[in-house]
């Protein structure tokens, strides 16, 4: 299941689970990004700094939108 299909769940409890899962993924990706940056591995792996930072920004924006939508429906 891709990220885009995850946002189509209608059940509020399901949305909360999706937001929690996305938050966990974002936290793990951010930690990996930080470790690679600090250890000088950025650019030696398959993803570049620009690509990974863009993905993190997009996931952060998606998580913020999910949280805002949850507040509106609560």
What's the rounded mean pLDDT across residues 17-37? 92
Give the residue-averaged pLDDT of 44-51.
Answer: 75
Using the predicted structure, report yes or no on whether residue 66 has a pLDDT greater than 50.
yes
pLDDT, mean of residues 47-67:
90
* pLDDT value for 72: 81
- pTM, two decimals, is 0.71
- Summary mean pLDDT of the chain: 82
Answer whether residue 43 shows pLDDT above 50: yes
Could you tell me if 33 and 53 are in contact, meaning their C-beta atoms sit under 8 angstroms apart? Answer: yes
Residue 7 CB-density burial (10 A; 0-12 exposed, 13-18 middle, 19+ buried): middle
């Amino acid at each position: 299941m891709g990220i885009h299909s995850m946002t189509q769940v209608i059940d509020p409890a399901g949305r909360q689970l999706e937001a929690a899962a996305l938050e966990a993924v974002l936290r793990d990706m951010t930690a990996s990004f930080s470790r690679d940056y600090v250890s000088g591995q950025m650019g030696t792996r398959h993803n570049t700094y620009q690509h990974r930072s863009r993905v993190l920004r997009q996931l952060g924006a998606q998580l913020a939108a999910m949280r805002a939508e949850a507040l509106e429906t609560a």
